[in-house]
Amino acid sequence: MSERENIFSRIREALKMPAHRSGYHTEQGELPGGLPTLEERRKVLPIVSATEEGQIQMFARNAADLKAVFKVLPNASLLTAELKALAFAEGWKRVAGQRTEMVEKQISELGLPALFTEGGYDKAELEKCDVGITECDALVAQTGSVVVTSRTTGGRALSVLPPHHVVVARRDQLIPDLPAAYVLLQSRYANSFPSMISFVTGPSRTGDIERILVLGAHGPKKLTIYLIES
Amino acid sequence: MSAPVAQFDEDARRVAGDTRQRAIVQTAMHKYEVVRDFRKPWFQDWNGARDQASRTKFEAINHLDRYLDQFASKLESRGTKVHWASTGKQAVEIILGILKEKNARTVIKSKAMTSEEIHLNDAMEKSGYTVVESDLGEFIVQLREEPPYHLVFPAMHLTRGQIQQTFEEKIGEKSSDSPEELTMVARRVLRQKYLDADVGITGANFGIAETGMISITENEGNARLTAALPKTMITLMGIEKILPRMEDLGLFLPVLAVMGTGQALTGYNTIYSGPRQAGEADGPDEYNVVLLDNSRTLLLADAEQRDSLHCIRCGACLNVCPIFRNVGGHSYGTVYGGPVGSVITPNLRGLQDWKHLSYASSLCGACTETCPVRIDLHHHLLQNRRNSVQEKPDFFMAQAFRMFAVVANSPGLWSMVTTMSRVGMKVRGWVNATFLDPARAWTKTRDLPPIAGQSFREWWKENR
């Protein structure tokens, strides 16, 4: 018998004896069976505004708590000026990005040497870049998270290896909560998920030394998110 | 006395007297409590969320055969190699086999308690591989050649000064003792290790049956890098980590974050469903998932304690436990410390050798009260005590209770014994807590309350 079969036969043997549900000996009584539904989950999770304005405000509050920079820009042309200012302020010498029309255009405006990850790249070169510029799959208002994937945002490393991650999002990419994020991922990728999907919530952080917060433990020290309104 | 008992007695006594270590732990736990309690009200219904989490894990564990099968087939269908290990030894052999096949030299690891359980680092180092822990806390304790102190905060017992010293002695890196600067030292040193590593090894927080995905929760980005840069990736996962559906993460990720660290959501919550796919820029060419039983099916077979497999290793029960706070993480002598460790270790590693952990509890129930998946922790500690006595009755204790029953059933004998013990207590007072004191086991660290000068029966006779 293979180990797989051994393990399964032990599991099946063990499960012949049914177990009590949690709470059976308490005043509250036994918990109901079955998996909670999406509606049930929404009733316990943090409340999210129903309006788009409210959701943008919530995202902004969360981003501020997380020490991420979040800016709403009326249109894409203002983005160029923002990025140029950042490049100057931080002294960018080399930038990395994903090859989409929008990111490529922004990078060419910067006039700096650029690395694009699509089609493979040298990881030591990516490590030397000052910034990684990507789009995203969604912004989650409830938690201030940015959803990136290995297929749609330039691979696994681009959003985590350079010391600064810049995200450019469209207004229609803002979604209210975590349940909505999984509904979106299911409907977008149902039969072929990207090999990596990450919910990025603030810049890289650690509290491993005396529980004192330090940003930039391994991943980006800085996370900047631009929301383009049109 | 078995070796684990002797070690526990000695270490617990030493740490309980080590006010410096206790102060560090108390401060860390206090900081945790403050942020956790700030986050809980963020949920509309925190206890409702715990109920749902408990229901979800109950469903997963009580249909583990079905979900595990679905999980493995889904993973395989996307090009992942799934390996099965009944024991820790088998899991180690599987992983060493992969390293050999890949001609690997350097391995980078992100935090995996399961790998501590099977002593993977030892085995890899003995076989000549360079192994680097990338989680900052794990990196620090690895340099100090210590086991992790806590499930979530491996280096919580160390001061910045100790860490500064460790970096200077072990890797020749001089810096100030500011947490910021120390973190940057680790970042710089580990960056190069990432670029050099041939294989990345991770643990898993959840395995999603429906879609065949591994979910990894972290703050530093070290697991993201471990899964992005090396050519080969290995995930070691206990078979109980299964969740039925991807959407369950929408509940479990915030619950784990609030309980684990007091955050709304941890920095990176990532799901992996295979090696690099066609059209993707990077990622490993090969993805191996090693599924580990290592006595988990024994716990599954105990219907009474099956819910201890609900555990999501958030560490919340350790954080609130008065015993953990006073004896510290290393005294347990186990991979999993605190209340949940005291519940599962006797079941995983032998009841008679580890039953003392189930006695090292005041049964205050703080662990059960906080557990986000509603494991009935303090009752399980009691059940371990009961099971250990049933399995191996203590002859002297049984005789003592038999004698007590005889005395307590006879009013004459009872009054004789209580009168005698009043006299005995006075005499004992002269030798209190010395080696002549028959109650020394108790009195060397505590006061013995005096026996009342008059029994109730005597008082009744006089004052009626």
Chain A nearest CA to B267, separation (Å) = 5
Whole-structure pTM value: 0.94
Reduce the secondary structure of B356-385 to three states and give it as a string: HHHHCCCCCCHHHHHCCCCCCHHHHHHHHH
Kind and range of the H or E element at A72?
A: strand A69-73
- CA torsion angle B449 B453 B456 B459 (round to 10): -150
E-strand stretches of B13-71: none
| pLDDT for the residue B1 | 65
Q: Which domains occur in chain B, in start order?
A: 1-42+315-392 (no CATH), 46-294 (3.40.50.10420), 404-463 (no CATH)
| Partner-chain contact A214 B180, CB within 8 Å | yes
Q: What is the DSSP letter of A119?
A: T
Instruction: Say if the Cβ atoms of A217 and B136 lie within 8 Å.
Output: yes
Predicted local confidence at residue B170, as pLDDT: 95
Between CA B249 and CA A228 the distance in angstroms is 29
Best residue of B86, B268, B375 to probe chain A, by most A CBs closer than 10 Å: B268
How large is the average pLDDT for residues A115-119?
Answer: 94
Find tokens 């981003």 and name the residue.
Answer: A63
Q: How far is CA B33 from the centre of its chain?
A: 18
Bridge partner list, B268: A200, B218
CB pairs under 8 A between A and B: 316
B271/A35 Cβ within 8 A: no
Residues of B in Cβ contact (< 8 Å) with A127: 191, 195
Nearest CA to B340 among B323, B119, A21? Answer: B323
Question: What CATH architecture does domain A53-228 belong to?
Answer: 3-Layer(aba) Sandwich (3.40)
Interchain contact A172–B (C-beta under 8 A): no
Cβ separation of A120 and B279 shorter than 8 Å?
no
**pLDDT at A1 > cutoff 80:** no
Quote ipTM for the complex. 0.97
- pLDDT for the residue numbered A11: 98
pLDDT of residue A13: 98
CB spacing of A211 vs B153 below 8 angstroms? yes
How far is B335 from B295, CA to CA, in rounded Å? 14
- Chain B residue with CA closest to A24: the answer is B376
Q: Calculate mean pLDDT across residues A55-65.
A: 97
Query: What separation in angstroms does the CA of B231 have from each of A39, B77, B102, B263, B448?
Result: 41, 20, 9, 32, 65
Chain B residues whose beta carbon lies within 8 Å of the beta carbon of residue A65: 264
Contact flag B265-A45 (C-beta cutoff 8 Å): no
Q: Please tell me which residue of chain A has the smallest CA distance to B57.
A: A35
Alpha-carbon distance of A91 to B172, in angstroms, equals: 30
| Ordered per-residue pLDDT tens for chain B, 464 residues | 689 999 999 999 999 999 999 999 999 999 999 999 999 999 999 999 999 999 999 999 999 999 999 999 999 999 999 999 999 999 999 999 999 999 999 999 999 999 999 999 999 999 999 999 999 999 999 999 999 999 999 999 999 999 999 999 999 999 999 999 999 999 999 999 999 999 999 999 999 999 999 999 999 999 999 999 999 999 999 999 999 999 999 999 999 999 999 999 999 999 999 999 999 999 999 999 999 999 999 999 999 999 999 999 999 999 999 999 999 999 999 999 999 999 999 999 999 999 999 999 999 999 999 999 999 999 999 999 999 999 999 899 899 999 999 999 999 999 899 888 888 888 888 888 888 888 888 888 888 888 888 888 889 999 98
Average pLDDT of the residues of chain A? 95
Mark yes or no for CB contact A19/B307 under 8 Å. yes
Pick from A160, A181, A212: CB nearest B224 = A160
Are A15 and B56 a contacting pair at CB < 8 A? no
Q: Tell me what pLDDT residue A23 has.
A: 81
Task: Give the one of B136, B153, B265 whose C-beta lies nearest to A143's C-beta.
Answer: B265
Cβ contacts of B63 on chain A, cutoff 8 Å: 15
- Which chain B positions have a beta carbon within 8 Å of A197's beta carbon? 270-271, 273
Q: Collect all residues of chain B within an 8 Å Cβ-Cβ radius of residue A6.
A: 84, 86
C-beta atoms of B244 and A35 within 8 A: yes
Which candidate from B221, B265, B307 shows the least CB-CB separation from A217?
B221
**Residue A182 pLDDT more than 70?**
yes
Tell whether A229 is within 8 A of chain B (Cβ). Answer: no
Q: What is the rounded distance in angstroms from the CA atom of residue B420 to the CA atom of residue B410?
A: 15
Q: Residue B279: helix, strand or coil by DSSP?
A: coil
Averaged pLDDT for residues A102-109: 95
Closest CA in chain A for residue B369: A23
Q: Which two tokens stand for residue B355?
A: 């039953």
Q: B227: which chain A residues are within 8 Å (Cβ-Cβ)?
A: 156, 196
Asked if A204 contacts A216 with a C-beta cutoff of 8 angstroms, the reply is: yes
Among candidates B48, B65, B283 on the partner chain, residue whose Cβ is nearest the Cβ of A196:
B283
Say what the pLDDT of residue B354 is: 96
* A88 Cα to chain B: minimum distance (Å): 24
